[in-house]
Structure 1
Amino acid sequence: MKYIDKFTGKAQHYNQGRPSYAPELIDDLYKNGYLTPHSIVADIGAGTGKFTEQILQMGNTVFAVEPNNDMRAVLTERFQYFDTLIILNGTDEATSLADHSVDAITVAQAFHWFDIEKFKQECTRILKPNGLVILIWNMRDEASPVNQETYRIFQKYCSNFTGFSGGIKRNDEQISAFFDGDFFVKSFSNHLYYSKDDFIARSLSASYSLKQGDELFEDYLQELTNLYNQFVVNGVLEVPNNSVAYIGKL
């Protein structure tokens, strides 16, 4: 679980720069009965609550499990007035939830950090019979010039960069292995629109990103600024992106 500290010191950038997920995806999950407002949901690797918020707004009781202290502190501050939210200091391998206590498990932008087999065991333990697991990502369109240039900058400066979303690709073999090949996919357009400050915050929120004080940080920041200036239109940078969900039972 070496991933736990990767977002230490990045929670404010994460909260500012990370997007929510396509409203059409949320609507689809409820319209088709994968979730209902009565579902008890465990949101694992909840971060600062980007996806958590969207299901809280549907009326669900949510256990938000987040192991990083900084991220969990922002999560707690943001949602202190939601009485249907229970925030837990836990991991994908040890959530602290009771056996067979949740109807669904959601993981937004975090599955690529997990030990698949250990997470699968924990899911099996805490899910009620016939419970669902929903793995969700915002996936950038890598064919777009702005994303290709962003990729180049990350690859040049960030030694731990392995690709967007931790290198997870659409229908990645890790996803197939987790579901034993039995899952289906929902995908909805969710283009992202950034001011300069939000784009920089989004870039600095990445686990692999350089941070203030690192060698070449100022050069890195300048290249990100140059990228923004190259592609911005009327004060807004559009980043082509899709919200993708993988849904299955274990």
Structure 2
Amino acid sequence: MERGYMERTRFHGKAQVYDQARPGYPQEAVRYVASLMPAEATVSDVGAGTGKFTVSLAASGVGARAGIRMIYAVEPDSDMRTALAENVVAWPNVTVVDGSAAHTTLPDDSVDVITCAQSLHWFDHDEFLKECARIGRGGRVLLISLYNVTSFDSAMTARTNSDHFGADLAGGANGPSDSDAAGTAAAGTAALAAIPDVSVSGRHFRRTVAEFFDAPTIRVFPNPIRYTRDGWRAYMDSHSHSPLPNDPGYAAFRTQVDAIFDMRAVDGIMTDDTTTMIASEWLTW
């Protein structure tokens, strides 16, 4: 297969902390995704990162009714891909691929399902859908997008000091409620409409649903995350926009990260009522 489409992305140098600190996906959500797939499906997990979703999906296919024939974990960043390869070594049904959303390097007419976990907002619409059409088996493919949607905005993209954090996060908007009946279409539709604008991850999910899907099925699953101070620091270090520890602005960034924790933590633990949002649809050409 061809190599080297994009050896460095904004996550380069962050693979270790990404693998350590980024939240995974609840088992109920992974089982739901697996249940959507045809028997003996071949899957391309595009933008696989360090394998947060890939490993869970591989495990779900073992002994499942339908089963998963093969997962091609496609990741453009060499740093992330190295961690990915280490994480999937126990799963013979996973092949790590050096490729991108526009150039997966997979053969024509080769996959049944394309999954995108926390990655679809990075993809060029036309190029990605063109690639989906190329690799989709028989002129169709099941596209599944997953996002862990945070209950508040942790991106810090428009703030310069802790006073701004208070303005943006006080009264922090809630994500989709845990009381929603997870796995029902009505709950999913209501949750999509209820995603607050304060959540960057929520905006990513809502925007990509509008851009890449026509009539998707949407589901929501609770995925609450509990952070210690060190866990929160590592999570924030893993973001694409976060400076690396050797960058000049890192000390100020860490001060801002700690300010969020100090404002929201109770007894040394900060809870984010994260929800896993899933959109799926069969695309045909």
TM-score, normalization by structure 2: 0.75
**Aligned residue runs from structure 1 range 150-169, under 5 A:** 150-151=154-155, 153-157=156-160, 164-165=200-201, 167-169=203-205
Instruction: Measure the CA separation in 1 of the matches of 2:40 and 2:239.
Output: 33
Q: Which amino acid aligns with 2:41?
A: S
Amino acid at match of 2:122: W
TM alignment of 1:1-250, pairs within 5 A: 4-30=8-34, 33-35=35-37, 38-59=40-61, 60=68, 61-129=70-138, 130-141=140-151, 147-148=152-153, 150-151=154-155, 153-157=156-160, 164-165=200-201, 167-170=203-206, 172=207, 174-179=208-213, 181-250=214-283
Q: Return the offset for 1:177.
A: 3.0
CA contact (8 A) 2:8 2:79 kept: no
User: May I ask how many residue pairs the two structures share in their alignment?
Assistant: 235
Q: Deviations over 1:133-161 (max 9, x none)?
A: 001111112xxxxx25x35x442259xxx
CA distance, structure 2, for counterparts of residue 10 and residue 34 of structure 1: 32
Which one has more relative contact order, counting CA pairs under 8 Å at least 6 apart?
Answer: 1
Q: Does the Cα contact within 8 Å between 1:112 and 1:166 map onto a contact in 2?
A: no
1:73-122: CA deviation from partner (whole Å, max 9, x where unpaired): 00111222321110000000111111111110000011111101110011
AA of the residue aligned to 1:214: D
Q: Tell whether the 8 Å contact from 2:75 to 2:98 is kept in structure 1 after alignment.
A: yes
Return the offset for 1:206. 0.5
Q: Percent identity?
A: 30
Go from structure 1 to structure 2 and tell me whether the alpha carbon gap of 1:169 and 1:134 turns closer, same or farther (over 3 Å shift).
closer
Check whether the contact 2:6–2:77 (CA below 8 A) recurs between aligned residues.
Answer: no
- Give distance in 1, aligned partners of 2:54 and 2:205: 23
One-letter identity of the residue aligned with 2:27? P
- Which aligned segments of 4 or more residues in structure 1 are displaced greater than 6 angstroms? none
Contact kept in structure 1, 2:41 and 2:113, CA below 8 Å:
yes
Gaps of at least 5 residues in structure 2 are 62-67, 162-197
Distance (whole Å) between structure 2 residues aligned to residue 20 and residue 224 of structure 1? 21
Describe the superposition over 1:167-219 as per-residue Cα deviations: whole angstroms up to 9, x where unpaired.
Answer: 5153x2x432322x221211111111122222111101110112223333212
TM-score normalized with structure 1 length: 0.85
CA contact (8 A) 2:142 2:282 kept: yes
CA contact (8 A) 2:132 2:141 kept: no
Instruction: Give yes or no for contact 2:7–2:76 (8 Å, CA) kept in 1.
Output: no
Amino acid at match of 2:43: V
Gaps spanning 5+ residues in structure 1: where? Answer: 142-146
Q: Pick closer, same or farther for the CA change 1:115–1:166 going to 2, 3 Å.
A: farther
Higher alpha-carbon Rg: 2
